[in-house]
Amino acid sequence: IVFSVIAALVTGFFVGLPFLVNASYQRPCFVFLDDPAMSLVLPGRCCEEFKKGICGLGFRFEKITLNREFFNKEQWQENLDSILNGVTFVMASPLITATLESENYNFGERLPKIKSYGISYDENNCFDMILSSDVHGGWLEAEKAVDPDEKIAVLYEDDRFSKTSQSISENHGTGSVLEKKVEISSVLSASNTLKEFEELGIGIVMCPFVHSPEYYFKEESSLRWIVDYRLVLNVPQENLYGVVYPDFFNSVLPYLGVEREVLKLMSGTLNYGFTAK
């Protein structure tokens, strides 16, 4: 009798297994196309939150990394068509977005059943919708994570970040934030900037963007840094305070239920979050 019960349970399990596999297969699939550089610098928390959010909606989530060798192969467009066959949603990293645009890979023409989302500062007709990066996103959240009594320097090189710097200064308190725009990018200039920070008692440097971040880490320093995720590999771990990173899930969430024809008429924003080291 015991063996009969066990046999029935085992048989029932394997009979039910195809149904479970098939049910998983039938769930809508969301694919994120990233590149090796992004995979290297994105905080683990960013990918975990993205996957958790998508799966929480009942979708399957897959992250596919496309390197330069993939695009150098003949018939790569057909290969990508095959990879994405049966997918419901696809989102591309900024580099993959730019690559597909330069190669005139048009999702609407090649894979009309897929809703496609790209990330770019510029208009792009290859995707159903483009999410434009919010250059200010995440930085006010990062400022809130810093002790109010801590002196901060905001180091930036692009005028686009002047508004970010001003907002941080207004939120953190008068006199406790130094706004520093880089005029000359050189090792000597970086060294003089760091000396200035130390003389003023700066404890934390918030850096949205500089062209040559490695110049600031030629010598040992006690300064702690909050940086955009793309600069994180330049910062020694002992100097890293936190990272501002893209919030992919909450950026795309409002548009998942929007019809493709309507998506093309809309503009979205890539939001950012902050994670401490």
Would you tell me how many other CB atoms lie within 10 Å of the CB of residue 19?
Answer: 9
- Which carries the bigger pLDDT value, residue 134 or residue 234? 234
| Cα separations in angstroms, 70 against 35, 40, 83, 99, 132 | 11, 18, 12, 11, 26
At residue 265, what are phi and psi to the nearest 5 degrees? -100, 0
Strand 240-246 with 129-133, pairing:
unpaired
- For the stretch 28-85, pLDDT in tens is 999 999 999 999 998 888 999 999 999 999 999 999 999 999 999 989 999 999 999 9
At residue 84, what are phi and psi to the nearest 5 degrees? -95, 5
The two three-digit tokens of residue 212, written as one number? 């040559």
Q: Which of 256, 204, 258 is nearest to 91 (CA)?
A: 256
pLDDT at position 121 is 78
Q: What percent of the chain has pLDDT over 90?
A: 71
Q: Which of 127, 164, 126 is nearest to 142 (CA)?
A: 164
One DSSP character per residue, 206-260 reads EEEE-S-GGGGGSS----EEEEEGGGGGGS-GGGEEEEEEE-HHHHHGGGTTS-H
Q: Which of 272, 275, 155 is nearest to 204 (CA)?
A: 155
Tell me the three state secondary structure of residue 194.
helix
The residue type at 176: S
Across all residues in the chain, what is the average pLDDT? 88
Task: Say which residues have a Cβ less than 8 Å from residue 31's Cβ, sequence separation at least 6.
Answer: 61, 62, 63, 64, 84, 87, 89, 90, 91
Least confident stretch, 4-18, 87-101, 159-173? 4-18
pLDDT at position 175 is 67
Task: Say which residues have a Cβ less than 8 Å from residue 112's Cβ, sequence separation at least 6.
Answer: 260
Assign residue 251 a region (left: φ > 0; alpha: ψ between -120 and 50; beta: otherwise): alpha
Indicate whether 213 pLDDT > 60.
Answer: yes
The two three-digit tokens of residue 178, written as one number? 């130094």
Cα 145 to Cα 157: distance, rounded to the nearest angstrom:
23
Indicate whether 8 pLDDT > 90.
Answer: no
Model confidence at 111, pLDDT cuts 50, 70, 90, reads very high
Q: Which of 171, 30, 138 is nearest to 90 (CA)?
A: 30
Indicate whether 24 pLDDT > 50.
Answer: no
**Residue found under tokens 């290297």:** 40
- For the stretch 169-195, pLDDT in tens is 888 876 689 999 998 889 999 999 999
Indicate whether 21 pLDDT > 60.
Answer: no
Q: What percent of the chain has pLDDT over 70?
A: 90
Cα 5 to Cα 251: distance, rounded to the nearest angstrom:
51
**pLDDT mean over 17-22:** 38
Side-by-side strand order, sheet with 177-181: 177-181, 152-156, 204-209, 224-228, 240-246, 272-276
